[in-house]
């Protein structure tokens, strides 16, 4: 019985596809890849006889028709998508017609460009007692945002924001973050084509100048925008340490090391104590 697999190719570097995703690419009789976003090098594991097509000029109906047709010819069909299929990947729009056609589907997760961007810049999206929340969102463009999900509303949480599909809307990002109370000196990270060999570009700046810096770098597509109170923590003079590795913090694999208050107390200089110290 045929099965269509939606495989996350990861952020760009073909080595960042999962082992399961790689194995499905190697087994597939047909692969439809998102050529505008997925590097063609991700197809290097495909068999020579595999039917390969690029979806960059297809609309939804054409994509679904291709997948259904190939599922009638091959046991394993792969839809190779950028990042993770569950994030901005039109996954459900493609799955519903396959369900209606009685075709089994499966999903293989992939590394998101949000995580690849943080890795490229050696940044952490969370830090103890600073922010423990990450919001994955976008700015309203041709696709409007649902009520309550404007960037200004989300930014009021003052946590980490990973802003997808919005590099051409940096002016709007600046305006909405300012409306939410973010200062002009707030750090901003932009990563273009995170992990793509030879193409990755990292731009750091502040809310006030990040648009100018990105324009100077020629970045106008395929970029992740990260705004976070954690940015730059690698170079801070002090950090609040994680409780996980605190010697005084117990968990099921390690018992806390509690200082002995008696041993820590200074002993009075009594002749008897001095005699014990000398023996």
| 0.75 surpassed by pTM | yes
First to last CA, the chain: 83
What's residue 277's pLDDT? 45
Cβ neighbours of residue 112 closer than 8 Å, sequence gap 6 or more = 11, 83, 84, 87, 136
The answer to whether the CB of 245 falls within 8 A of the CB of 254 is: no
160-164/134-138 β-pairing: parallel
CA dihedral 158, 132, 88, 112 (to 10 degrees): 120
The pLDDT, as a whole number, for residue 266 is 54
CA contacts within 13 A on the Cβ side of 20: 10
Those residues of the chain that have pLDDT short of 70 are 259-279
The three-class DSSP label of residue 152 is helix
Give me the residue spans of the domains in the chain. 3-111, 114-235
**What's the CATH fold of domain 114-235?**
3.30.950
pLDDT at residue 271 in the model: 46
Backbone torsions φ then ψ of 246, nearest 5 degrees:
-70, 125
What is the CATH topology of the domain spanning 3-111?
Cobalt-precorrin-4 Transmethylase; domain 1 (3.40.1010)
Rounded Cα distance, 125 and 226, in Å: 9
Q: What is the pLDDT of residue 261?
A: 58
pLDDT value of position 41: 77
């Amino acid at each position: 019985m045929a099965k269509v697999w939606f495989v996350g190719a990861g952020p760009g570097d073909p080595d960042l596809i999962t082992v399961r995703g790689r194995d499905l690419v190697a087994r597939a009789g047909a692969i439809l890849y998102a050529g505008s976003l997925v590097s063609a090098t991700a197809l290097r594991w495909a068999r020579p006889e595999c039917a390969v097509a690029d979806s960059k000029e297809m609309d939804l109906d054409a994509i679904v028709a291709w997948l259904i047709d190939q599922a009638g010819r091959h046991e394993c069909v792969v839809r190779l998508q950028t990042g993770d299929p569950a994030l901005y990947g039109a996954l459900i729009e493609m799955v519903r017609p396959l369900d209606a056609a009685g075709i089994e589907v499966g999903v293989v997760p992939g590394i998101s460009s949000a995580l690849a961007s943080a890795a490229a810049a050696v940044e952490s999206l969370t830090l103890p007692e600073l922010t423990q929340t990450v919001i994955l969102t976008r700015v309203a463009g041709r696709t409007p945002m649902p009520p309550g999900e404007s960037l200004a509303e989300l930014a009021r949480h003052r946590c980490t924001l990973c802003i997808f599909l919005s590099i051409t809307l940096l002016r709007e990002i600046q305006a909405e973050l300012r409306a939410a109370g973010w200062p002009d000196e707030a750090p901003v990270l932009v990563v273009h084509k995170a992990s793509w060999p030879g193409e990755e570009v990292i731009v750091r700046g502040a809310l006030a100048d990040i648009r100018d810096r990105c324009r100077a770098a020629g970045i106008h597509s395929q970029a992740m925008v990260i705004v976070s109170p954690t940015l730059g923590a690698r170079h801070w003079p002090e950090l609040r340490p994680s409780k996980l590795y605190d010697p005084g913090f117990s968990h099921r694999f390690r018992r806390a090391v509690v200082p002995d208050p008696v041993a820590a107390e200074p002993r009075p200089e009594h002749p008897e104590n001095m005699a014990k110290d000398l023996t």
